[in-house]
Amino acid sequence: MRRQLLLICFVLSCVSGSLAASHANPTTAFDHYGRIPWEDEKARLDNFAIQLTIFPNTTGYFLIRAGKSSCKGEAQVHGIRAKNYLMNVRHIPWNRVIWSDKGYGDEFQVTMWLVPREYPFSITEYYPATPQHVIRNCGRRRT
């Protein structure tokens, strides 16, 4: 519990400075991370939800890229889980959170953006798998 509180305080302090920058320059990411435990990710999602609540004229974007070694459909599963958490636990309206599968990169990565609604935000870029990527059929995983 103490670890979670320290993590939340740390993330809030880091994010508060970047939040002003993200509204001044909408192309600045709110947060990004790789593979982390679900409990740590929920703390980051909580911070994201707080900012979406404070700034009601923003939309939250999740851009997810699988790594060189990944499970088939991993980005989609991750995006759906994060969006469901924000909607069902943090009560963020469904149309304020958009996730996108960005394909494959060197490492698994999630990038979160807070974007003013009037700002045109493109999420069309997709990086296809290359011969270096290993995509396993992992089946259902519990996380």
Beta-carbon contacts of 132 under 8 Å, excluding residues fewer than 6 positions away, are: 68
Which is more confidently placed, 20 or 85? 85
**In a domain? residue 143:** no
pLDDT of residue 99 exceeding 90, the answer is: yes
Domain count, the chain: 1
pTM score, whole prediction: 0.74
Distance set, CA 51 to CA 16, 74, 82, 96, 141 (Å): 9, 26, 15, 12, 30
- Apex 11 CA angle, 26 and 75, nearest 5: 65
pLDDT of residue 93 exceeding 80, the answer is: yes
**In a domain? residue 131:** yes
- What's the DSSP call for residue 80? H
Beta-carbon contacts of 34 under 8 Å, excluding residues fewer than 6 positions away, are: 67, 107, 108, 109, 110
**In a domain? residue 29:** yes
Q: Retrieve residue 76's tokens.
A: 């989609």
Domain extent, residue 36, equals 2-136
Mean pLDDT value across residues 36-53: 96
